[in-house]
Amino acid sequence: MADRALVPQSEVVAQLRSLGVKEGAVLLVHTSFRAVGPIQGGPLGLIEALREALGPAGTLVMPAWAGRDGVFNPRSSEASKSLGVVAQTFWRIPGVRRSDHPHAFAAVGPRAEDLLPDPFPDPPHGPASPVGRVWEADGQVLLLGVNHDANTTIHLAEVLGGAPYRVWKSHTVLIDGIPSRVHYQENDHCCERFVLVDAWLEASGLQMQGTVGNAFARLTRSKAIVDRVAFQLRQDPLVFLHDPKHGCRECDLARASVPGDAAAPSGT
């Protein structure tokens, strides 16, 4: 980022509003600060710009799930490093609320309490999850310097669209204050083919694009993502899984979970 110009925070706010971020909206953000920066104030400056663009009536949401298995404490458990420095910074800010389970999201704003129900969501990105609550609130999804392979709303679309694969997983959670192992099924795979959603949304005119900071940004309604992906899944339920010849272990595990009569052609 050393050879890039420092972007003032006020300019970032203007870029977000020009992109289509609505004042008073619920906004779920996935971001890579390496792509966005440098921005005045660093990662915290970007968070402040997002909050200013949303205004006091808006609610900002980011992923904050645990970086490792173990008893989850929303006040101290480290967030996954894969989420990036912005998300890792966000959940630590005073006043930001974080889910009380390992598949955590964090939020701040008038609707934060409604978006982060405490029970462990099963499946992790189903309708009862924070991603599902953003969808119910007709929220927006902002991909800032990342593509749709980082877009958790597509997992919600898989659930609602009837994707037939489910992989068994487990986490340690507190139940009545006692650490307990919870087993659940998740529509999990490598997610690389989620990038297909970019072209689907573009072809339908459902995605706004522009520059925020130094990064390419995509903005879409959560409901538009779910509707478009569900349509594609009806055509090919395994469209997001690599072909077996690709040699992707995660996709192969997902494919192996599919009942024989649910199999359909999928991509390469």
DSSP 39: B
Mean pLDDT of 93-101: 94
135-156, pLDDT tens digit by residue? 999 999 999 999 999 999 999 9
Q: How many CA atoms lie within 13 A of 83 on its CB side?
A: 24
- pLDDT, residue 3, reads 78
37-70, pLDDT tens digit by residue? 999 999 999 999 999 999 999 999 999 998 777 8
The answer to whether residues 159 and 187 touch, using CB atoms and an 8 Å cutoff, is yes
Which residues, including other chains, have CB under 8 Å from residue 261's CB and lie 6 or more apart? Answer: none
d(CA 78, CA 64): 9
**Whole-structure pTM value:** 0.93
202-259, pLDDT tens digit by residue? 999 999 999 999 999 999 999 999 999 999 999 999 999 999 999 999 999 999 999 8
105-139, pLDDT tens digit by residue? 999 999 999 999 877 888 889 999 999 999 999 99
| CA–CA distances in Å: residue 97 to residues 91, 108, 121 | 7, 6, 17
d(CA 100, CA 25): 24
- pLDDT, residue 178, reads 84
The pLDDT confidence band at residue 1, using thresholds 50, 70 and 90, is low
Q: For residue 144, what are its two tokens?
A: 């800032």
| CA–CA distances in Å: residue 244 to residues 194, 238, 251 | 17, 12, 8
Bridge pairing between strands 167-175 and 59-63? unpaired
Which value, in Å, is the radius of gyration of the alpha carbons in the chain?
18
3-class SS at 138? Answer: coil
If you search the block for the tokens 């991603």, which residue do you land on?
131
Q: For residue 174, what are its two tokens?
A: 């507190």
Beta bridge partners of 220: 141
d(CA 87, CA 33): 10
Torsion of CA 152, 83, 94, 14, to 10 degrees: -80
Amino acid at 155: H
Beta bridge partners of 170: 183
Residue 261 has pLDDT above 50, yes or no: no
d(CA 260, CA 144): 39
- pLDDT, residue 73, reads 86
| CA–CA distances in Å: residue 158 to residues 63, 123, 231, 236 | 18, 11, 10, 12
